[in-house]
Amino acid sequence: MKSPLVYLHALGMINALGGDTDAVARGLVADCAPGMGVAAFGETGAAFVGRVTAPLDVAPPPHLRRYDCRNNRLLLAALVQIGPAVAAACERYGAGRIGVVLGTSTSGIAAAEAALAGNARDERCKAAFDYVQLEIGTAAPFAAAALGLQGPAFTISTACTSSAKAIVAARRLLQLNLCDAVVAGGVDSLCETTVRGFSALESTSSSRMNPMSANRSGINVGEAAAVFLMSREEGPAVLAGAGESSDAHHISAPDPSGAGGERALRAALDDAGAVPEAIGYVNLHATATRKNDEMEARLMARVFPNGVPVSGTKPLTGHTLGAAGATELGFAWLLLTNEGTVLPRHLWDGVPDPSLPALDLVEDARRLQPGRLVMSNSFAFGGSNVSLVLGQS
């Protein structure tokens, strides 16, 4: 028997494009990201990053004050946007039937960094820090407590596929009838540890990242939160297909053949019952690192031999790591649910890499062809690969 369809009803977002879904949608269309630029990071010096510039003025409720850190404030800023939809779901299903699945890779590392630095100056500074801010696993339980939800709540951390895998896990909870609705997505905040780490790997760019270019030189680390309310009830967009694979090629480098990523894409198409020609747009992972873009370009040429419009949106958000999958699926959701919205443009210097297959990069004002599906790719350290397919209801 075919599994029931799962729909994405409401979306909350915050990133370098803006502080809520409306601002993000406007910035995406206008290629305007106020948070992209150079910022100071302690002893690291300056780095080009994607920072949230909107105020984070939604604080945890008093009984959750020990969780108060930038990462959880980003999460709350996204959650408050879907608050009415979650409240309606609680009224309909009951809090015990609503779960939370979130992805993150940094959690509250920035809070720990600040506490350690402050404690070195004055031991009283450590009083503002609580270890639960740092724990990777607390993101989903914190969100569940903040929303008053009592269903399953767990956090996934698989680096840059974390929130894409959270979406897939949420669908499983719904298809197995373990939940009637699930809040799913991801959150990550900027921290010196992450910026230094990618710099040590020689994977960061000192200027805006330049995906698929012959001149690409690395990522801009970013921060974001993106959350959906998902259920089996019909909604504006359907999660038509999902594909996952793990090639375990290397701890940080992708399999240059792209075989694992290709399996994920083809599994997502099979799950959606779709041929490649049914896809009208693909949001690429496109990190602007030498190896990722080479791998992704080659597998895209194999899966879509007749071409498909594609773009990489990370130059407008930075690489938001554990939040990237949900953030970029959010762009797909906006494209499907806002009639007439143009496809996100591919921002780069226009210099193709002659060693890579030519892709149909969206550089002009194009719109999604009626009835077409939208795909979003996510790839991570350790060979974790996820591809998601969305369609209109």
The residues with which 224 forms a beta bridge, in sequence order, are: 188
Q: Is the pLDDT of residue 45 over 90?
A: no
For position 147, what pLDDT does the model report?
Answer: 98
Average pLDDT of the residues of the chain: 94
Cα–Cα dist 125/119, whole Å = 5
pTM of this structure: 0.96
Q: What's the CATH number for 237-392?
A: 3.40.47.10
Q: What's the CATH number for 7-231?
A: 3.40.47.10
For position 299, what pLDDT does the model report?
Answer: 97
Structure tokens belonging to residue 221: 């680390």
For position 340, what pLDDT does the model report?
Answer: 76
| Domain positions in the chain | 7-231, 237-392
For position 40, what pLDDT does the model report?
Answer: 85
Q: Is the pLDDT of residue 201 over 90?
A: no
Between 70-79 and 139-147, two packed helices, what is the crossing angle to 10 degrees?
50
Identify the band that residue 292 occupies on the pLDDT scale cut at 50, 70 and 90.
very high
Q: Is the pLDDT of residue 202 over 90?
A: no
Cα–Cα dist 68/59, whole Å = 7
Identify the band that residue 126 occupies on the pLDDT scale cut at 50, 70 and 90.
low
Amino acid, single-letter form, for residue 391 = G
Identify the band that residue 9 occupies on the pLDDT scale cut at 50, 70 and 90.
very high
**Neighbouring residues of 276: CB distance < 8 A, sequence distance ≥ 6:** 269, 303, 304, 305, 306, 308
Q: Is the pLDDT of residue 392 over 70?
A: yes
Q: Is the pLDDT of residue 276 over 90?
A: yes
For residue 189, count other CB atoms closer than 10 A to its CB: 30
**Neighbouring residues of 271: CB distance < 8 A, sequence distance ≥ 6:** 240, 241, 242, 243, 389
Identify the band that residue 44 occupies on the pLDDT scale cut at 50, 70 and 90.
low
Identify the band that residue 383 occupies on the pLDDT scale cut at 50, 70 and 90.
confident
Of the candidates 274, 249, 275, 270, which has an alpha carbon nearest to the alpha carbon of residue 379? 249
- For tokens 């000192």, the residue is 206
Identify the band that residue 236 occupies on the pLDDT scale cut at 50, 70 and 90.
very high
Amino acid, single-letter form, for residue 168 = V
For position 10, what pLDDT does the model report?
Answer: 98
In angstroms, the Cα distances linking 261 to 164, 242, 264, 336, 382 are 14, 12, 5, 24, 12
List the single range of 60-69, 71-80, 192-201, 266-275 with lowest mean pLDDT.
Answer: 192-201
For position 251, what pLDDT does the model report?
Answer: 78
List the single range of 20-29, 169-178, 244-253, 297-306 with lowest mean pLDDT.
Answer: 244-253
Calculate what percentage of the chain has a pLDDT beyond 70.
97
Instruction: Give phi and psi for 58, each to the nearest 5.
Output: -90, 110
Cα–Cα dist 243/228, whole Å = 19
Identify the band that residue 46 occupies on the pLDDT scale cut at 50, 70 and 90.
confident
Q: Is the pLDDT of residue 290 over 90?
A: yes
Q: pLDDT by residue (tens digit) across 90-112?
A: 999 999 999 999 999 999 899 88
Identify the band that residue 148 occupies on the pLDDT scale cut at 50, 70 and 90.
very high
Identify the band that residue 124 occupies on the pLDDT scale cut at 50, 70 and 90.
low
Amino acid, single-letter form, for residue 241 = G
Cα–Cα dist 50/288, whole Å = 14
Calculate what percentage of the chain has a pLDDT beyond 90.
84
**DSSP collapsed to 3 states, the chain:** CCCCCCEEEEEEEEECCECCHHHHHHHHHHCCCCCEEEEEEHHHEEEEEECCCCCCCCCCCHHHHHHCCHHHHHHHHHHHHHHHHHHHHHHHHCHHHEEEEEECCCCCHHHHHHHHHHHHHCHHHHHHCCHHHCCHHHHHHHHHHHHCCCCCEEEECCHHHHHHHHHHHHHHHHHCCCCCEEEEEEEECCCHHHHHHHHHCCCECCCCCCCCECCCCCECEECEEEEEEEECCCCCEEEEEEEEEECCCCCCCCCCCCHHHHHHHHHHHHHHCCCHHHEEEEECCCCCCHHHHHHHHHHHHHHCCCCCEEECCHHHCCECHHHHHHHHHHHHHHHHHCCCCECCCCCCCCCECCCCCCCEECCCCCECCCCCEEEEEEEEHHHEEEEEEEEEC
